[in-house]
Structure 1
Amino acid sequence: MSIPHADLAAFVTVAEHLSFHRAAIARNVTRSAISHAIRRLEAQLGVRLLNRNTRGVSLTEAGRQLSTRLQQAFADIDQAVDDVNHFRDTPHGSIRITVPRAVGLTLVAPIVATLTRRNPGLSVEVSSNDGLVDIVQAGFDAGIRFGESLQQDMIAMKINFPLHFAVVGSPEYLAGVPVPQVPADLAAHSCIRYRFPSGVSFPWEFRKDGTTVQIEVHGPILLDDQELMIETALAGAGLAFVFAERVQAHLDSGRLVRCLADWTPQFSNLYLYYPDRTFVPAGLRALADLLRHPRAADLSIGVAVTATEVEA
């Protein structure tokens, strides 16, 4: 049986006030509208809910039972709405984000730790995936990606956290070959190459004194994971082009040696992106706010722009 909720709400109000007049005032409608709603409800149920006489209104036994159940039901509805308000007003519930694997290790881990520590009611699910992800179809609230790979209908906020690339090799590998002095010297080296999930190989780009050089390197090993590239370089297989932040401990210990340090560029093309600016969950706002304030984790974030503006 489908009964209009407005008629049920009108009945609950009359039951509370035991007056059609006061119920009409409470609901900001006419007394006639309240009377029609009660008649429709009783007709649909086939049961008298209210006794009316010149002295006033009283509940029948059926009306008293229905009123009690409906008051509880409407209270549950009010609580459900209040629970949803938590998502708007305070970080609560859960958010799902997708990030490139290497960026997740370097950037996201400390951010997520701080975010959940500051907001005990929030849980965060992170999916590390180097492929292009349709966050709407996959059910993510947001993602972190490089600017050139953003979808055009996304809202994007630049993360001004510079990442630095480094060309590294093991002492064992470099002992048998000349150490490269300029990017062109890489032609004589075995390079551990990176391939995107799309199948495209990642070119090695260098910058010095305003000059940018892009090198297509060669080597027998092609991988799709920076951590695996680092392990392969540690094993002496060749030179790898990876985030310097991921290999700093190996450089400090001497297990890896950095090459072309004066040529390797700073990289700052990361964006937090999400589908819509309207009704952004509080948890996602907290994530953006954390990225926006440098003191939170030595990070800063730029002004929100559309993905179309990213490429402009």
Structure 2
Amino acid sequence: MARNDEIFRTVGTLPPGELSAFLAVAQHGGFRAAARSTGASPSAISHAVAGLEARLKVQLFLRTTRNVSLTAAGKRFADELRPAMAQIDRAVAALSELSGRPSGKIRINADPAAAEQVMDTLILPFLAAYPEMEIEIAGEKRLVDIAKDGFDCGIRAGSLVAGDMVAVPISPPQQHIVVASPEYLAVAAPISSPADLVHHSCIQLRMPSGNLYRWEFERGGEAIQIETAGRLVLTNSRLIIAAVQSGLGLGYVNRWAARRALADQRVVQLLPDWTPHYAGLSLYYPRHHHMSAGMRSFVEFARKAART
């Protein structure tokens, strides 16, 4: 116990970066997850923790090829250190609030298409309004635990947001639509219902799960899924629209992504009665989580932008 007491007395002399790296690894259970949460590289996090262990002359983590876990000394150290570091963070946030100029970085996890959709309406205007703020967007289709993975917030379709999150609507309702080029329709069989799609070449979408997306339709309370077929498999709407414009076949895409092609009549919407609107995009964040002054400013900015 005397050895541990000596460790805690030396905390004030330790580099803050090493302490932050240690807490990040302790919270996220690994060096890569800690790196994602802080924006540092895994090697930088590893070196910081190794430096801290060398200064303290004690092992803080048990490391295997598959797992990283706290030692008994590391657990006590983390338990004692967290309140102090949280108090420092609150003090810094308070100074930022008093200055009236929020600063710092906001890390956002977002569906790539959603991030593209709000770039001009939210992200860029916010950065222009708050020149001391930074934003980092990790675009990925799979859903993640934003708190566990070190993100301040997420942006996705409102229907995908978990109930324990605070959700702020930031876009109009969304719609997925079937599109085709005029050239394709000039020689293709007529399409009057989703059932007709089995007779057409349909460009496929590969989901993050690895499965091919089954096209979804609804009308008058009737919901159906159609397993389509085609010679091309892609992973995003932008590529699908390009293939549709070439006349290769039909595509099922977000209307926002197809807006320019629709306006220029390079593609035509089909089966409009079968593709109703659904919930728009939401900015979401953990309900019980300390928010920095910058994050609060971002949320309020998003609320105002959605109302205009």
* Structure 2 counterpart of 1:107, from 108, 118, 122: 118
Question: 2:93 is matched with which residue?
Answer: 84
- In the other structure, the counterpart of 1:239 is 250
Q: Is the CA contact 2:117–2:256 (under 8 Å) kept in the aligned structure 1?
A: yes
Where does structure 1 lack aligned partners over 5 or more consecutive residues? 6-77, 300-312
CA distance in 2, matches of 1:120, 1:165: 36
Question: Contact conserved, 1:88 with 1:280, CA < 8 A, in 2?
Answer: no
CA 91–177 in structure 1, closer or farther in 2 if over 3 Å, else same: same
Q: Who wins on radius of gyration, i.e. which is larger?
A: 1
C-alpha change, 1:232 and 1:86, in structure 2 (3 Å) is: farther
**Does residue 188 of structure 2 align to residue 177 of structure 1?**
yes
Q: Residues of 1 paired with 2:147 and 2:307: CA distance?
A: 30
- TM (norm. structure 2) is 0.63
1:286 paired to 2:263? no
Shift of 1:208: 2.9
* CA RMSD after TM alignment: 3.0
Could you say which residue in structure 1 is the equivalent of 2:130? 119
Q: Which of 271, 282, 286 is the matching residue for 2:282? A: 271
> Which structure 2 segments of 5+ residues have no match?
1-5, 13-86
- Structure 2 CA distance for aligned equivalents of residues 269 and 200 of structure 1: 24
Aligned ranges 1:202-281 → 2 under 5 Å: 202-268=213-279, 270-281=281-292
| Offset, 1:225 | 1.0
Distance in 1 between residues matched to 2:234 and 2:102, nearest whole Å: 38
Does the CA contact (< 8 Å) of 2:169 and 2:306 recur in 1?
no
| 2: CA distance, partners of 1:167 / 1:86 | 52
CA gap 1:256/1:280 in 2 versus in 1, 3 angstroms: same
How many residue pairs get aligned? The number is 225
CA drift at 1:230: 1.1
- Counterpart-to-counterpart distance in 1, 2:150 and 2:96: 17
Alignment of 1:196 with 2:207, yes or no, is yes
For the residues of structure 2 that align with 1:129 and 1:3, how far apart are their CA atoms? 42
Residues 179 and 259 in structure 1, CA contact (< 8 A), matched pair in contact too: no
Report the Cα offset of residue 156 of structure 1: 3.9
Contact 1:88–1:279, Cα closer than 8 Å, also in 2: no
- Does the Cα contact within 8 Å between 2:157 and 2:280 map onto a contact in 1? yes
Cα deviation, 1:61-82, whole Å, max 9, x if unaligned, reads: xxxxxxxxxxxxxxxxx99975
Higher relative contact order (CA 8 A, sep 6+): 1
Q: What's the CA shift string for 1:221-274, capped at 9, x where partnerless?
A: 222111111111112211111111221211121211111123222121543232
CA distance in 1, matches of 2:248, 2:186: 12
Distance 1:287 1:211, change over 3 A: farther
Determine if contact 1:131/1:196 at 8 Å carries over to the other structure: no
For the Cα contact (< 8 Å) 2:192–2:271, is it kept in 1?
A: yes
Q: What residue in structure 2 maps to residue 30 of structure 1?
A: none
**Percent of aligned positions with the same letter in both sequences?**
35
SS of the residue 1:258 aligns to: strand
Amino acid at match of 2:94: N
Equivalents in 2 of 1:87, 1:199: separation in Å? 45
Deviation, structure 1 residue 100? 0.9
